[in-house]
Amino acid sequence: MAQQALFGRYWEADSVVHNLDPRTKIIGVIFWMVITFNAANFPALGIVAVATLVLCLLARVPLGQAFLSILPLSFIIVLTALFNLFWVQGGAVLAQWGFIQISEEGVRMAIFISIRLTILLLAG
């Protein structure tokens, strides 16, 4: 029977990551979250994203299951992206409806924060 994809659920596998001491894994996840929050631009975030996917592969967690496990929390990602899209101002105005504006910087931040939150949820 296939395991159900739930966020935070332990995925049993025989891998280098699974064989680590639990304290090491906790410290590693905290360290990875700090690295993810310190990625200040798209190239740095891209490197962190690729490294996160490599860590998932090293842990022998199927990527499809990993993404399915964060699906129930996708509303947080979408909500955060919408807040950034409408409240962050800067650059050229791409669309305007009355007092509501969507700017280049708002779109950039919405995409950036969405990727960052996805990485954080996958690493958790």
24-51 pLDDT, tens digit per residue, is 988 988 999 999 999 999 999 999 999 9
State mean pLDDT over 64-76.
85
* pLDDT at 1 > cutoff 50: no
Q: Domain for residue 17, yes or no? A: no
Domain that holds residue 35: 22-123
Q: Is residue 111 part of a domain?
A: yes
The reply to whether 88 falls in a domain is: yes
pTM over 0.95: no
Residue 9 covered by a domain: no
pLDDT range class, residue 117, cuts 50, 70, 90:
very high
The residues, any chain, with a CB within 8 Å of residue 120's CB and separated by 6 or more, are 33, 36
Quote the CA–CA distance of 2 and 71 in Å, as a whole number.
17
Establish if 119 belongs to a structural domain.
yes
Domains of the chain: total: 1
The Cα 27–Cα 111 span in angstroms is: 28
Q: What is the mean pLDDT of the chain?
A: 85
